[in-house]
Amino acid sequence: GGRFGKPSISKQTVTFADVAGQDQAKREVSELVDFLREPDRFQRVGAEVPHGVLLVGPPGTGKTLLAKALAGEANVPFFSTSGSEFIEIFVGVGAGRVRKMFEAARKAAPSIIFIDELDSIGRTRGTGLGGGHDEREQTLNQILAELDGFGGREAVVVLAATNRPDVLDPALLRPGRFDRHVTLNLPDKPARRAILDIHAKGLPIEDPADLDMIAAGTPGFSGADLKNLLNEAAITAARRDGRLITRDDLGEARDKVMMGTVRSLAIRP
Ligand code: ATP
Please give the pLDDT value at position 66: 98
The band of 90, judged by pLDDT with boundaries at 50, 70 and 90, is: low
Q: pLDDT of 140-193, one tens digit each?
A: 899 999 999 887 678 999 999 999 999 999 999 999 899 999 999 999 999 999
Closest ligand 1 atom, CA of 62? 11
Residues across the chain: 269
* Residue 95 pLDDT > 50: yes
pTM: 0.90
Of 96-100, 127-131, 249-253, where does the model show the most confidence? 249-253
Ligand 1 pocket member 136 (CB < 6 A): no
Instruction: Kindly give the distance from the C-alpha atom of residue 61 to the centroid of ligand 1, in angstroms, as a whole number.
Output: 5
Please name the amino acid found at residue 229.
Answer: L
pLDDT at residue 107, as a whole number: 94
The pLDDT tens digits for 21-53 are 999 999 999 989 999 999 999 889 988 887 899
What does the pLDDT read at residue 123? 80
Cα–Cα distance measured from residue 153 to residue 206, given in angstroms and rounded to the nearest whole number: 53
What's residue 187's pLDDT?
97
Nearest-angstrom CA–CA distance, 135 and 82: 15
Q: Which residues contact 156 (CB under 8 A, 6 or more apart)?
A: 51, 102, 105, 106, 109, 110, 111, 112, 113, 150
Cα of 169 to ligand 1 centre, how many Å?
Answer: 25
Mutate to test the pocket of ligand 1, among 13, 26, 64 (most ligand atoms within 8 A of CB): 64
User: What's the average model confidence in pLDDT over 214-220?
Assistant: 97
Q: Is residue 117 pLDDT above 90, yes or no?
A: yes
The atom of ligand 1 lying closest to the CA of 224 is: 16
> Does residue 251 have a pLDDT over 80?
yes
63 Cα: distance to centroid of ligand 1 (angstroms):
6
Nearest to 32 by CA among 19, 21, 42, 17: 42
| SS3 at position 116 | strand
Interval between CA 199 and ligand 1 midpoint (Å):
11
For residue 237, pLDDT beyond 50: yes
Distance CA 5, CA 152 (A): 28
Predicted pLDDT at 267: 46
R_g (Cα) of the chain, nearest Å: 20
Give the annotated binding-site residues for ATP: 57-64
**How far is CA 261 from each of CA 71, 87, 93, 138, 196, rounded to the nearest angstrom?**
30, 26, 35, 35, 18
